[in-house]
Each structure stands twice: as C-alpha cells, then as structure tokens.
A and B are shown apart, each in its own frame.
Chain A
Amino acid sequence: MKLEGQVRIPSGCAIAAVISKEGSRMSGEMITNAMKPMHDRSNGLGGGFAGYGIYPEYKDFYAMHFFFNDRAARKDCEVFLKERFEIVQSERIKTRKIPAITDEPVIWRYFLSPLKSVLTSMQMDEKEFVANTIVKINTEFKGSYVFSSGKNMGAFKAVGFPEDVGEFYRLEEYEGYSWTAHGRYPTNTPGWWGGAHPFTILDYSIVHNGEISSYDANRRFIEMFGYKCNLQTDTEVIAYIMDYLLRVQKLTLEEAAEVIAAPFWSTIADKSESERKKLTYLRTVYSSLLITGPFSIVFGFNGGLMALNDRLKLRSMVVGEKNDKVFIASEEAAIRVMEPDVSKIYAPAGGEPVIVRLKEGTF
C-alpha cells in the first residue's frame, strides 16, 4: 500500500477554533473537548491542534516540531540544522502514554535562531530562509519531518481521534490566545503522523475540511515557486498558497481570500467599478490559485485567525461569539462545548472570509 505522499488521499473532517481578541490565554483543554461531540466526523486516522502564543518565553525563536523515525534520523538532521541555525533549546516533546495512541515516532522540539552569516550568503530574508530549510528537510531527509516551524506557536498532531491526540500531547499544560483543531476522516490511508492536520509553514497553519477539485492545478502552479507538495494533501497546498500570497506576494488577508475563493464573474459584474477592477485583477493574475470544490478552512497566524468556506459553501462551518472570544467549528455542538452561553451564532456565506485579529498592542 502506498504511503501518504506517494498517493493522493481525499478525506473528510471536523474543524474547530477559538480565539481571544484580548489575547487572554486559554489552555488547550477547551479545544480538545470541543472535538468530542464531532467524534463521528473523524475515523481515528488523524487529529491535531495548533496553539498560538504558547511559547512566550521563547517567542523570538523559531519553534520547530519534528517527527523522526529514529534516533539516527534525528542525529543526521541535527547536523544539518547546526549548519544553518543556532540551537537555543532541544528537547523531546512531552507526551502521555495512552492506549488510544500507539506507534509514535520520536517527537522533538527545537527553538532555533538562523545564523546571520548563512542568511547573508544565501541572500534570503529570515522567513524565506526558514521556509526553504523546511522544504529541504521534508524533501531530502528521509525519516525527518518538520510539522511546525513558527515563532511562539506550535502544532501537535498524531494518528488517532483528536480528543485522544489532545490528551496525548498534554495540551492542558499549554496556554495560547488562539487554538485550532482538526479531526480527520481519510478515505484511504495507512495513517501517517505527518499526514494529520494542521499543516503549517512558519507561523501559518491550516485546518481544513473538504476535498478540493482544483488540487493539481493549484499544486502545479505553486510548485513553480519553490514549494514541494510532498504530502499530496489539500491542506498542504492551501498552506503554501496562503504563504505565497501573504508572505511572498504581500497580499492582505482579504485579498488572499478573494483569490482562493474568488467571487463568480457574475457577482463581480455587479460590484462598484473600483471593486470590480480589483477582483478582476486578482482573478486574472492568480487564476491558478482559485480553489474549487468543497472546503472549510481555519487559517491561523501570529495575531489572528481567518475562517473561509468555498464559494458554493459545500461544507458546513459556523461561527459563534461571546465577549472577546470568537469560536469556529464544523458543527454548532462544538461551539456549545467551548461556550454553552454563546451570544451570537451564524453561518458565514460561501467565499465570505471571517477574519479575527488580536486587539492592537495585545500581541
């Protein structure tokens, strides 16, 4: 049977997220619990979380989370890391042994600072350099896989049901101002830890429910710009698209949403002239980054979240609010677990991004 990355595996899923606009920190327990009522949306072949603001003591360093097949792979990869980074901290990520999660790889965390001399010689800015390093490791280092690489954030994922994954990683011991979660229902996979969600690049993370029909058009376009879609998953390609549009092309979040879930031409025709010009421009220039087919995603980044549905809204996604907190989930039940007394609840329209940012100065 082919492993993930050698074959494209479609999957259905559950997603959930929470953010505090005031930047107040919440333990990972709440988001773990939110996944419980959506148990049937996963099949035990993948679950994961991303937390933001969880490493305040190391916030100036890139937090890289790794899966290593064995000690040798780690040693091998460390030699390469030392050529490029100062390793500030290197440790095994603490986990809890539970029967529901087995066959874990070596799960490691580094806090890293890029070596200035290498940056200069490669003529790259810091983020580009880190992104480049991750692509290199994930493509060339057999048995090593980077699954999280941003500053002051981290992804935690495994093969298993999401609520078990949360317990396994002891998420109650972390505190973040925003959390995203994912439960996976792949239709055909041997179950590989790296294939679970969220998928991250730098501080960007994606949890996604859906199966996009534009996958190969998107993949073949984005791979022109140095990305390698090693996992062949939707989530991976969407993460790279967001990274390309935001970090490389310097679009705003709203503009990026207008690229990947572009309004129909008939909708564009009804807009004001300036809006029409802008939307036509974005659809023309980035036509290959339009994503079709069902998706609901939560895109996490340092300082906020964006939730977005495909333009036909072919996947469920609801948003709830209470005080400074915003909740997003595939099902309302998940929101009710996080906040039984939620004040406002609604389903955003297809292609309508819900962008939540921390208040100025809180981050």
Chain B
Amino acid sequence: MSVEFVNPEFEVIRNDNRCIACRVCERQCANEVHLFDPDRGIILSDESKCVNCQRCVSLCPTRALKIVKNECRLRENANWSDSTIKEIYKQANSGGVLLSSMGNPNPLPVYWDKILINASQVTNPSIDPLREPMETKVFLGKKPDKITRNEDGSLNCELLTQLELSMPVMFSAMSYGSISYNAHASLARASKELGIFYNTGEGGLHEDFYCYGENTIVQVASGRFGVYEDYLEAGAAVEIKMGQGAKPGIGGHLPGAKIVGDVSRTRMIPEGSDAISPAPHHDIYSIEDLRQLVFSLKEATEYKKPIIVKVAAVHNIAAIASGIARSGADIIAIDGFRGGTGAAPTRIRDNVGIPIELALASVDQRLRDEGIRNNVSLVVGGSIRSASDVVKAIALGADACYIATAAVLALGCHLCRTCQTGKCNWGIATQRPELVKRLNPDMGAERLVNLMTAWQHEIKELMGGMGINSIESLRGNRLMLRGIGLTEKELEILGISHAGE
C-alpha cells in the first residue's frame, strides 16, 4: 500500500439504523464493495472498489445507502486537480494507458445549452399539436438532382432506397460485446415498435436479431467483425465506421475475456482472442479508397441499401464531409467529441475532436456552399441529450440524430463510466450472464419506447410553438435559433444570430 494507495473516489454511507443486513447490496454489487461480516452481523464496505453505479442504492429495501464523494481530499490546487494527481499515481503504479468509458465529462462548452429556440407571437400563429397534424417523419438518403419523366409525361418516381423514420432519432452504434444481448434485444424491439433504426455497432449481428433487420443498420468497421453476405443483406442500411467521437483516430479493443460464447460466434473470431479493430481501415488510406468500399458494399447489396459513412467530428470535418458526400455515400453520420464509448483511452476521449454543434453547423453550410446538401443526409450524434437538443440539431441542419448514451440511460445506466470493466451492475455493458439477466428486454424496450414517445411529443410542442408543422421545414432553419453568451466567432460558425438581434 503506502505510496501506491490511491484515495477512493467515493464513500459508502450506510445508515445503521436502517440497515437490516439483508445482503441485497452484497449480492447486487459485481464490484464486491459490500461484504457481510457474519461475526458481527453487519455489512462492511470496501470503498476502493466502488464506481458509484447506484445499483445498491436503488435496490436497498430500507434506503439505508448513500454514495457520496469522498471528502478526504488532497490539498486543493487549481492547477493540479485531484483527478489529475490520482491519474499520475495510477500511471506510476501501472505503467499503463488510462482507460475511461462513456463521453467526455469535462466542463467544456455545451453549445446546445447556449442556443435558444424561437416561438410564434402575433404575426403568425403557433400550431397546437394536439389539434392539428404535426409531422416528424423523415427520409434519409440521397435525393436526385433532377427529375425524370416516363414516356407518358408522368414523373418517374423511382428513388434510391431511403430510410424512413417516424421521428428524426435513431439508436447509435453499440456493439454486441460492448453491450449485452439483452441490451441489443431491447434496442431492436424498441426500434421496430417505434419505426426507427438501431445500429449493430462493429460486433456483428446476433442470429436471434436478424428478424429485426428492417429496423437495423449493420456496421462495417475496421475489424470487419461478423461481416459477411447475410449480415449485409440483413440490415436496412450499411454503415461504414471510420471513426467515433469518443476516440477519433484510434480503433477499438474488446479484451479476450469478453469474447465468449455467442459474442465469439457473432464476431466470427475464436473464443478468448482479443478483438482488435485497427485504427484505420487498412483498405482505406484515402478518400478514393473510401469510394471503393462504398461501392463494394453497394455492389454486394445490389444498390438496395443506403450506405452511411460515420466519422468523428475533427478539425477539418467540413472538407472531410464534402469528400464523403462525393464518395457515393447516401448518409453521413458525424459523431461529436462528447459521444460515449464502452472504453477509450482517457487522454483521447478528453482531448481529441470537436463539439458536434460546431461540426454540424460547418458541415451543413459547406455542403450547401458546394450545392450538394441534397445529395446526402446528415445524422449527428455525440451527446444529444433531450428533445430540445434534437430540435436544435435539426434547425442547425441535421436530418436526424443518433442517440446512445440517452438510450442506455433509459435502460438503467447510471453513467458511472466504468463500462470497460465489464462488471455493469445494470446488465448493459457486460457479458456476465448473472448481470445480463438483470436487464429485462421487455422492460428495456418499453422504456426506450417511452423515452422516444416523450421526445416526440416534446419535439412536436416545440415545432408547433414555432408555427412549423413538418420537421422538414425545421431542417436547416437557423433563423429559429439564437445564441446566448457566445462570441462573434462562435455565432459565425453556428450561422445564427445572438439573442436580441
């Protein structure tokens, strides 16, 4: 111990007057924080293992538990924060790269919170969504530049396949392996019921879920895990994952310990072998290579499925997106730097990439400047937290949003940010059967449907307030937005005026 000891982050407060030593907390904690002492008849805590996932707090029948920040702190220092110092201790202990999960938690600007939405007053009427139709249906995919006509003069109405969404939100990529079978089952069922899509992530598609193919986006990432003809055929669209907001520029690493049973079969790699996704696709070193993969996948799926190219929001995103738009891709998905992950090197997660709001605004404007905005659809993710974030994203120029953190929160995630340990007490980011079964997919699907239904109501309310009764009239409608407390430069990039202007 001594020099290697790192002061635990949390303190477990147990109210002895309430605790009945029922040992629920002990059974529920995969991190083994709670331990029954048979001699004394009481429960003890090992705080060093606590991740503050709130599982014990939520299940304690007498509400005897509270997890609080450990007040035993190092001497305050504005330059050397507590967490910075502890990270140094950990690295001095281990010699390793620090790992983190979920999105960047640091206090960097959240532009959504500095953007305000308009409403109608006097000069045009607001519309009540309870009394008038309010449309949220969206079609994603490439639109033609010109119409063509049949010999009889009627319009030729053949379109390249579009994804039809009942509302402009989809569940973003989370692989089977990084999350559990039951989590995937919940997402698949909810998507079907909602008329939207979920995304397999890079871990392949479990054979049980092929039946949800119409609501599934299958991903092809640099590791190509689980990719074969039937997989591509199974989905409604194919997504090429070039990057992820939480870890732009690097690949992924699912430890061999998680490659067990169905995960191994679905990924098509031997049990116990590490699943390593290379940083780049080794057949894509340039934009022209991307074009080849886009068209390879189109050939493989007989041009029946839209191809999505997903990239992380990085500095030069506008030019990159313009290149992708010209690569034959039907949809561009951009993932902002606050996007979540099942595991990423902390330094990468917290320091690489740019906010999705700025990336979206500049990409949308760039594609318009080049006159090619209608050739692709834009989907954005990387911390879309609420219906108002969705409305702001659409008004900035997105066709739809990807959500993942919000979706796992609906499934029970308490954002403890330790997915990488595989000991998720909520049955989401784990493969341990006794933990996985804690997530009931019927309830999970229902909660996801509830969340999306609630957001849809809120989106309609906000639209109605603006006098807009169809989501397409909101897309790119930046006049409906105003900035608050933003600099001239920020406003210029967002393409919006300041409040009061």
B91 interfacial by beta-carbon distance below 8 Å: no
**Chain B 111-142 interface mask (CB, 8 Å, partner A; 1/0):** 00000000010011101000011010101000
Interface residues of A in 133-176 (CB under 8 A from B): none
Choose the segment among A113-121, A275-283, A316-324 that binds chain B (4+ C-beta atoms closer than 8 Å). A275-283
B135: A residues at CB distance < 8 A? 264-265
Choose the segment among B267-275, B297-305, B476-484 that binds chain A (4+ C-beta atoms closer than 8 Å). B476-484
Flag if A255 contacts B155 (CB, 8 Å): yes
- Contacts A10-B124, A288-B476: A312 and B469 contacting too (C-beta < 8 A)? yes
**Chain B 132-172 interface mask (CB, 8 Å, partner A; 1/0):** 11010101000110110000001101010010000000000
Flag if A213 contacts B124 (CB, 8 Å): yes
Contact of B373 among A11, A221, A293 (CB under 8 A): A221
A284: B residues at CB distance < 8 A? 139, 143, 159, 162
Flag if A224 contacts B368 (CB, 8 Å): yes
Q: How many A-B residue pairs have CB under 8 A?
A: 111
**Identity of the chain A residue whose Cβ is nearest the Cβ of B137 in the assembled complex:** A265
Number of A positions contacting B (CB below 8 A): 46
Interface residues of B in 446-490 (CB under 8 A from A): 466-470, 472-480
A250: B residues at CB distance < 8 A? 147
B155: A residues at CB distance < 8 A? 255, 278, 281-282
B371 interfacial by beta-carbon distance below 8 Å: yes
Interface residues of A in 206-253 (CB under 8 A from B): 210-218, 220-221, 223-225, 249-251
**Identity of the chain B residue whose Cβ is nearest the Cβ of A289 in the assembled complex:** B472
B48: A residues at CB distance < 8 A? none
- Contacts A281-B159, A290-B472: A215 and B477 contacting too (C-beta < 8 A)? yes
A191 interfacial by beta-carbon distance below 8 Å: no
Give the distance to chain B from A214, nearest Cβ to Cβ, in Å.
3
Contact of B133 among A220, A266, A290 (CB under 8 A): A266
Flag if B477 contacts A12 (CB, 8 Å): no
Q: Whole-angstrom distance between the alpha carbons of A10 and B467 in the complex?
A: 14
Contact of A214 among B146, B157, B374, B473 (CB under 8 A): B473
**Identity of the chain A residue whose Cβ is nearest the Cβ of B155 in the assembled complex:** A278
- Contacts A285-B143, A290-B472: A216 and B478 contacting too (C-beta < 8 A)? yes
A217: B residues at CB distance < 8 A? 472-477
A187: B residues at CB distance < 8 A? 123
B159: A residues at CB distance < 8 A? 281, 284-285
- Contacts A211-B124, A213-B120, A213-B468: A285 and B133 contacting too (C-beta < 8 A)? no
Q: Whole-angstrom distance between the alpha carbons of A280 and B120 in the complex?
A: 29
**Identity of the chain A residue whose Cβ is nearest the Cβ of B480 in the assembled complex:** A216
Flag if A292 contacts B475 (CB, 8 Å): no
Interface residues of A in 249-301 (CB under 8 A from B): 249-251, 255, 262, 264-266, 274, 277-278, 280-285, 287-288, 290-294
- Contacts A224-B371, A265-B135, A278-B154: A292 and B468 contacting too (C-beta < 8 A)? yes
A213: B residues at CB distance < 8 A? 120, 124, 466-468, 473, 477
Flag if A8 contacts B479 (CB, 8 Å): yes
Q: Whole-angstrom distance between the alpha carbons of A250 and B147 in the complex?
A: 8
Given contacts A281-B159, A292-B468, 17 further A-B contacts (CB under 8 A): A11-B123, A210-B124, A211-B124, A212-B124, A214-B473, A215-B477, A217-B475, A217-B477, A220-B478, A223-B368, A224-B374, A225-B371, A280-B157, A282-B155, A288-B475, A293-B467, A294-B124
* Interchain residue pairs with CB less than 8 A apart (22): A212-B124, A213-B120, A213-B468, A216-B477, A216-B478, A216-B479, A217-B473, A217-B474, A217-B477, A220-B368, A220-B476, A224-B373, A224-B374, A249-B147, A251-B147, A264-B133, A278-B154, A278-B155, A281-B157, A292-B473, A311-B469, A314-B124
> Residues of B at under 8 Å CB distance from A?
120, 123-125, 127, 132-133, 135, 137, 139, 143-144, 146-147, 154-155, 157, 159, 162, 368, 371-374, 397, 466-470, 472-480
> Residues of A at under 8 Å CB distance from B?
8, 10-12, 187, 210-218, 220-221, 223-225, 249-251, 255, 262, 264-266, 274, 277-278, 280-285, 287-288, 290-294, 311-312, 314
